[in-house]
Structure formats: C-alpha cells, structure tokens
Amino acid sequence: MSINLVPGATTLAQLETILRQGEAATLDPSARAGIDQSAERLAKAAAGTAPVYGVNTGFGKLANRRIAPADVETLQRNLILSHCAGVGDPLEQSVTRLVMALKLISLGRGVSGVRYAVIEQLERMLAHDVLPVIPAQGSVGASGDLAPLAHMAAAMMGEGEAFYRGDRISAKDALAAAGINPLVLAAKEGLGLINGTQVSTALALKGLFDAWRAMTAALVTGAMSTDAAMGSAAPFRKEIHEVRGHQGQIDAAAFLRDVLDGSEIRESHRVDDERVQDPYCIRCQPQVMGACIDLLRQAAKTLQIEANAATDNPLVFEDAIISGGNFHAEPVAFAADQIALAIAEIGSIAQRRIALMVDPTLSYGLPAFLTPEPGLNSGFMIAEVTSAALMSENKQRANPCSTDSTPTSCNQEDHVSMACHGARRLGPMNENLFRIIGIELLTSAQGIEMRRPEKTSTPLQGIIATVRKKIPPLGADRFMANDLAMAADLVAQGKPVTKQSLLLLPE
C-alpha cells in the first residue's frame, strides 16, 4: 500500500500512518503539471545572465559570487556534500520515512523549480525501503534543516549511507540493490532539497502523535485512579465545564464521565463519605488535561499547515523567482514547545495521582504502597519515586527552545528557531511520559482490585484485563523493572484505550 499525498491537503492521519506503519508514499498525479512548469521557469533562469540566488550564485554569505553555467551541476553537488555535516545518532527510520514524505509534499506545491525526476527518486526510495542515514544533530532550524536534509539528498545521489531493508550500508550499494540509479542534480535542486523544515516537522509530528496517545492513556489511568481512590465524579459534571467554555476541558470531562459510568465502586461511596473534596490531581483532571488537549490541538493545526507548506528558497512563481524565508522554522519551534509543555503537565498530574495511591493517608483505605503486607513488602514504594524522577526530568526539558537563537553563517543567518532539537527532545520526553503513565496503570489497577467485591466500570475492567494478560497483580515483592517496562510498552502501543475517543483534529 502507498499513501497518496495531495500537496496542500495531506492529513495528519495519513502522516501518522506513514510514521507508524511504514507505508510508502507517492505524490498525487495532479501535482505534476505545476512541478513541470516550475522546473521550466527555473531552467530558463539558469540559462540566462541575471543573478538568481542558489541557481547561478553561491550560497548564504557567498551569494554575491557568480557561478558559470558550466558549473551549475557541480555547484549543487558541492552544496550537498559540504552540508553533510550532521553528527550524532541517526534518526529513527520511521522518522526518516516521514521526512521524505514531507519533502515530497513540499516539492509538490510546484514552486521549487525541481524536475519531476527528483520526485520520482524520493518515491522509488520509499517504495524500495531505501532510507538515508540522517544524523539527528546539526540543525538550528533556519535556512532549513540544512545538515540533516543534506544527508537525505546525498543518499539520493548515492553518497553517504542508507538503510536498505533495515541494514545500514553505503547509499551507493543501497540504491544498486534496489535497482535505483543515483540522481544527478540540476540547477537549484540541491537547494530545493535542503532548504526546508521537514526534519523539524517530522520530529515534531512524531512528538505530537506520541503525546496524543499518552494523553488518551492518561485520561484512562486518571479515571482508574479516581475509582481506586474512591474519588468523586461530581467534578466531572457537564455544567461545570460548559460555563467555562474551553473545548479541551469539556471533552476531558465528558471522557471521564463516560468511562466511569456504571462503576460499582463509585456508587458504593455516594452517601456517608466524610470527605468533602478530593485533591486537585483527581478533582481538576478536566481542567489540567483539557488545557493539554487544547495545546496539542493547536500544535496539530500548526504542524498540519507546515507539513503541507513550500518551505525552500528561492521560490519559483509565474512572474518571478523570489528569495524569502519560508525555511525559518519558528512555527514548528513554537509547536514543539507547546507539545513539551503538555507532555510535562500530563506527567505531572499523573505522578501526583500515583503518589496519592501509595499514601494511606490519601487513598481512603488502601494499604501503604498498595502491598497486601506493608513492612515485609515495599510494594510500589520505589516505582512512585521513579515516576517522580521522570516527571522532574520532563519538567526540566519543557523549558522553551524557541526563545534561544544564535547567529550563524557569518551573521547572514542571524536569527534561528532551534526547532529541530526543540522537536527532537519530545522523543525522550514522551518515553518518560509512557513510563509514568505505565506506573499509574499498575497502581490504579492494583487499587481497583483491592476494592473487591465492588467492581469498576465495564470499560475500565477491560483495561485491567488487558494489563493482567501481561502483568499479574503485585502480591509479595518481586523484581519490579520488568513490570514497569511492560506497562510502559502497553501505553506506547496505545493499548489503554476504550470505546470513548477524542479527535486530535477533524480530518
């Protein structure tokens, strides 16, 4: 199966499918006419005498140097090889696949001046599972993700390295094994490939998709903790949230109401409960989680626009070839910072529920650390400490990257976005969040089971059954790390789900 990409109209659902399922991607045939017309205009300019940035001039601070027509191909090749200055571990292959798909969309807008042969090279590589080795570090998020995208372009030319069906080999050998000829770049094509925000955007999209998955799981585990602690569902009533008006808050409250409906545990303490109010980590879930939902949705809107955008330079229009700055990734940097804030806060409130669950002064009758025999056993004592450590790591990482800038390229590129590493840090933040929510999955399931014979709601019983297929209840102390790893994996795979669902964006 190949995902058909319509430039300007590609959906987040399509991009998530490419990321998660490893699907190939092809450009919708309707884009070809615009691409061919743009390439013809560029070829005429390249054959002329007027200076056109990146076509017959040098780059960046060297833009005032004219390049002879005979050297145009050499100029593009040199550009790519010199810009292959990325360092660090390579991007995940799934992210690289998404980068290539995003580049297809951007070039498909028909204002980049590249030949259709460039499109076909990307499509062939995706179809045959030839994925460039792209070092993750080296972009400051302006003038495009230059270094990482240069590694992508180099592999298209048979330079550098690539993964071929999962094996890391030379790009030349990978192309040969797939029966693909190396691409020889024409005027401006190297520039069209490396000017752009596709690496920053791909990393931010992965961060978004994983954060949304974690957020949904955290709503489920939050409902489970509410029932395990015999918390009140009254704060989730519809009218409370409608009079405030924030859509995310309204949606989170509706989710919690629905998923707790039918719980015997909830009914068992509706009367004669001496508690007046629950702690905020229970009572204010709609307000906190709702604000995170709204942040993620706003970031999603930004990233959907950016995924469909033409972001290289210069751009080739019908009446002129114009140098601009669409490569500046400030919108992506802001979106990444928003996602980071949401990740940190989802983990923060989840960690407080874990702390509540293991504390007998707050958990309303549950044993200390959720162990049947406290003292002899420590139960979830240190699992809670681990969740606190992960929470604090994420809070530190949530500090904004977009407010940082440093001048580069002899002060020509004197303000940059830092979008690429701002987006890249979302990966480890989400890993931490999966682990925090995985710990809450275990503590809340344990707490609910300790409320027997009363049962939780049918949807939450189903979640607990899913957990127990992998991880038994905690009786006597046992080696804990394996349980935590399996629980985090369940969250990362999106397993704590119910029939209730929330849309990231309407498609």
The angle that helices 458-468 and 198-228 make with each other, rounded to 10 degrees, is 110
User: Among 53, 116, 164, 280, which one carries the catalytic annotation?
Assistant: 53
First to last CA, the chain: 20
Closest CA to 212 of 433, 473, 444, 468: 433
Give bridge partners of residue 131 from the DSSP assignment. Answer: 163
Closest CA to 19 of 7, 3, 6: 3
Closest CA to 38 of 299, 322, 279, 275: 322
How many Cα atoms occupy the beta-carbon half-sphere of 489 within 13 Å?
Answer: 10
Note the Cα 184 to chain centre separation in Å. 33
53 an active-site residue? yes
Closest CA to 199 of 83, 52, 120: 83
Residue 322 phi, psi dihedral angles, 5° rounding: -120, 130
Rounded CA gap, 192 and 107, in Å? Answer: 8
> 366: which residues sit within 8 A by CB, 6+ positions away?
228, 229, 357, 360, 447, 450
Give bridge partners of residue 413 from the DSSP assignment. Answer: 408
Query: Do residues 64 and 77 lie in contact, with contact meaning Cβ atoms separated by under 8 Å?
Result: no
Closest CA to 197 of 143, 122, 120: 143
Residue 425 phi, psi dihedral angles, 5° rounding: -70, -15
Within a 10 A sphere around the Cβ of 71, how many other Cβ atoms?
A: 12
Rounded CA gap, 45 and 48, in Å? Answer: 5
Residue 315 phi, psi dihedral angles, 5° rounding: -105, 145
Query: Do residues 499 and 459 lie in contact, with contact meaning Cβ atoms separated by under 8 Å?
Result: yes
Within a 10 A sphere around the Cβ of 321, how many other Cβ atoms?
A: 22
Residue 506 phi, psi dihedral angles, 5° rounding: -65, 135
Give bridge partners of residue 80 from the DSSP assignment. Answer: none
Rounded CA gap, 354 and 369, in Å? Answer: 10
Active site residues: 53
